[in-house]
Amino acid sequence: MLLLLLGIVILHAAALVLLFVSTIVSAWTTGSTSSSDLWNNCSTISGGYHCDPAYTGEWIQAVQALMILSIIFSFISLFLFFCQLFTLQKGGRFFVTGVFQILASLFVMSGAVIYTVMSPNWVPVSEAYGWAYILAWVAFPLALISGLIYVILRKRE
Amino acid sequence: NCVHLSHLTPSLTPIVPQQSEAIVIYTGWERHALVGSDIRLSCSFFSWRWTSDDVTFSWSYRADGARDSISVFHYTGGSPYVDNKGPFRDRLEFVGNPGRRDGSILLKNLDYGDNGTFTCDAKNPPDIVGRASSVRLLVFEKVPIQAGVITGAIIGAVLGLLVLVVVIYYLMRFLVARRVFNLSVSKHGKKGKGKEGSQQRQASPLSVGSLTTTTQR
């Protein structure tokens, strides 16, 4: 039982860490001389590393908001998990925890989808998607599975 | 010889230079404006000394992509001198108040070619050591939404909705519990079941005997 608990918490924490890294690191698109992410467009031109704030479009701000919301909801879900662990009835389900984690996964999915759809505008043809973008897509199924496990899980002992 | 020098040394002690803080110049960081509109670029400074009569303000402009900057405004000796040959002739006006440490200029009828960096340098003798401050001008067809406005709005709306849902849930639970309590004053047996029914979230088969519902969240 304890092992299962540990495994679930580690899964949740892994999803959370992926969300964090994906949101913060500047590697959603990478090219030979530039990389950009949700917050900055950085490029090395003529010997200097130089960052500009990202485009102030409506959609990039929506992606920023969704990624931040997914982090917040995942945090809340972790917190609720520990709350429910100590207050739930025997045989009860971690329903609220699961709902929040599933919402977090839906947010990160929406963010990644919007970024993908808007990529003709944001990602020049010569550049490729970066690893932080991939992390966002990996975090989505991880968080989803984690949330589903919570919904199915029943408290014992 | 040594005796002579000992008489001289007191007057040869060096005068310690007076500590003077640097002058600090403030302009905006970035300014957005629409084509054809006017914009006021503000420049002011902070100095430990009183504003002197010889205070000078100097604005220079470097177009986007250009490597050199040209001087477009200078205030000295109590008079402003505006650009009368460069890209801003007849479009620049001095609207500052040097006595109040304000060296702002007004740019009229903006065009896309005015995109660039404006640098203000102010000097307040004897306080002349300082770093010039730059403001970036961006001219748009329509003013874009500031970075972060929509982000904040979305986050705020979703979290607000969350708080609202939680409040409504607890309100409903409180109301239902109270109504059920009033109802079941006469019906003692139903009291336990009524409270159970309101806990829809953690709906789990509870044994009727255990009234541990109060511990549940």
pLDDT in tens, A33-84: 666 667 766 666 666 666 666 666 778 888 888 999 999 999 999 999 988 8
pTM of the predicted structure, to 2 decimals: 0.57
**CATH class of segment(s) B17-143:** mainly beta
**Residue A40 contacts B where some CB pair is shorter than 8 Å:** no
ipTM of the complex: 0.79
Confidence of residue B165 (pLDDT cuts 50, 70, 90): very high
Give the pairing of strands B23-27 and B130-131. Answer: parallel
* Predicted confidence (pLDDT) at residue B18 exceeds the cutoff of 50: yes
Beta bridge partners of residue A34, listed in sequence order? A43
Q: Which of A94-98, B19-23, B24-28 has the lowest mean pLDDT?
A: B19-23
* Predicted confidence (pLDDT) at residue A121 exceeds the cutoff of 80: no
Q: Name the residue among B210, B42, B197 with its Cα closest to residue B134.
A: B42
3-state secondary structure at position A78: helix
Cβ separation A91–B205 shorter than 8 A:
yes
Cβ separation A88–B202 shorter than 8 A:
yes
In angstroms, rounded to a whole number, what is the distance separating the alpha carbons of residues A134 and A98?
24
Rounded to a whole number of angstroms, the distance from the CA of A112 to the nearest CA of chain B is: 15
Beta bridge partners of residue B17, listed in sequence order? none
3-state secondary structure at position B185: coil
Q: Name the residue among A59, A151, A149 with its Cα closest to residue A110.
A: A59
A147 Cβ neighbours under 8 A, 6+ residues apart:
A77, A97, A98, A99, A100, A101, A102, A103, A104, A105
Structure confidence at residue B183 (pLDDT): 74
Question: Cα–Cα–Cα angle for A5, A11, A14, nearest 5°?
Answer: 140
CA-to-CA dists, residue B200 to A95, B20, B77, B213, B215, angstroms: 11, 71, 80, 12, 15
Cβ separation A92–B147 shorter than 8 A:
no
Give contacts of B154 with chain A, Cβ < 8 Å: 61-62, 65-66, 69
Q: Which helix (H) or strand (E) holds A147?
A: helix A131-152
